[in-house]
Amino acid sequence: MAGSSDALVILRNAAGDEASVCLHGAQVMSWRPAGEGEQLYASPLSPPAPGKAARGGVPVCFPQFSERGPLPKHGFARTSRWEMVAPAIATAPVAEGHFQLDSSMVPGKWEHGFCLLLVVRLGPRWLELELQAANTGRSAYDFTCALHTYLAVADVRAVQLDGLQGLHCEDMVDAGTVRMARSEALRIDDEIDRVYRGVSRPLQLTAEGEPPRRITQRGFEDVVVWNPGPAKAARLGDMPPEDWPRMLCIEAATIEHPVQLAPGKTWSGVQRIELPHAQGFGDSSAGLRRIP
């Protein structure tokens, strides 16, 4: 089943999992697997609004990550209104929604011709997002991008993240210092803002009393791990200061090596989050709508 209101699309699959996607930013705002609690954090002080980015869910960062370029922070995709280009459908057991943003919908935002497609797939105990970018102009261009996923946790100080050991990471809290990650699982008790480079293996987020989450990606080369910590959270203004332990961003990203896209070419990147005993791990590209 699927339904929509003025700006919100609801996806439900045959197993009873549910996700909501806001047309503002094509931002996934909620994901509730059947029998489980909310898996995404969304700040109650930052609802979607024209020209503003909501803090939470899964913002789409394009064509610039953070402030690494001339555009506003994280680009314009997350603050623009997208359109649903195919009816939100449910199959057994996967529900899908297709959302599009192109250069005709954001005049003057960027000088290049582009078309973005976000495919949201909701399976039994898993959520998969695929971002596709097509160059519809006459000249090549570069871009960086990310799926800025805010995962909900009971207490970030009690979680551990496996899979990043031994990778090089850029530590933005330490003035962009590049170092090799330690050999043990990552634990967090304060502000963290790191870009882990060349991530190709699955990540596992675990905490006592919570189902583990397995996070995989393809197409995206990097992973960003972010939490504001108590001091920065108190200065944000769009998030309750006491909420900083309740979230952890684990972002599928391409940052270190920007995507170089020639005219007529398409790039895609996927992030998938799974809870234990998920089914349907087959070829998730079946039935994918490609950008012309």
> Residue 64 belongs to a domain with what CATH number?
2.70.98.10
Distance of CA 240 to the CA centre of its chain: 21
Asked if the structure places residue 291 within a domain, the reply is no
Q: How far apart are CA 282 and CA 11, in angstroms?
A: 20
Can you tell me which residue has the tokens 């979230």?
247
Taking only Cα atoms into account, the Rg of the chain, rounded to an integer number of angstroms, comes to: 18
Residue 160 is predicted with a pLDDT of 97
> Sign of the C-alpha dihedral, residues 151, 152, 156, 159?
negative
| pTM exceeds 0.85, yes or no | yes
Residue 2 is predicted with a pLDDT of 52
Q: Which domain holds residue 257?
A: 2-274
Asked if the structure places residue 292 within a domain, the reply is no
Catalytic residues: 148, 251
Terminal-residue alpha carbon distance, the chain:
27
The Cα angle at residue 101 between residues 247 and 68, in degrees rounded to 5: 55
Q: How far apart are CA 59 and CA 70, in angstroms?
A: 19
Q: How far apart are CA 65 and CA 202, in angstroms?
A: 22
Tell me which residues of the chain have a pLDDT lower than 70: 1-6, 90, 92, 278-292
Asked if the structure places residue 157 within a domain, the reply is yes
- What H or E segment, with its residue span, contains residue 231? helix 229-236
Looking at the structure of the chain, the number of domains it has is: 1
- Collapsed DSSP state (helix, strand, coil) of residue 46: coil
Q: How far apart are CA 152 and CA 158, in angstroms?
A: 13
| 31 exposure class (CB count in 10 Å sphere: 0-12, 13-18, 19+) | buried
- Collapsed DSSP state (helix, strand, coil) of residue 208: coil
Asked if the structure places residue 288 within a domain, the reply is no
Residue 286 is predicted with a pLDDT of 36
**The tokens of 291 are what?**
């950008």
Bridge partners, 89 (sequence order): 96
The Cα angle at residue 222 between residues 217 and 225, in degrees rounded to 5: 95
Asked if the structure places residue 283 within a domain, the reply is no
Q: What is the 3-state secondary structure (H, E, C) of 169-207?
A: EEEHHHCCEEEECCCCCEECCCCEEEEECCCCCCEEEEE
Whether 233 and 243 have beta carbons less than 8 Å apart is answered as yes
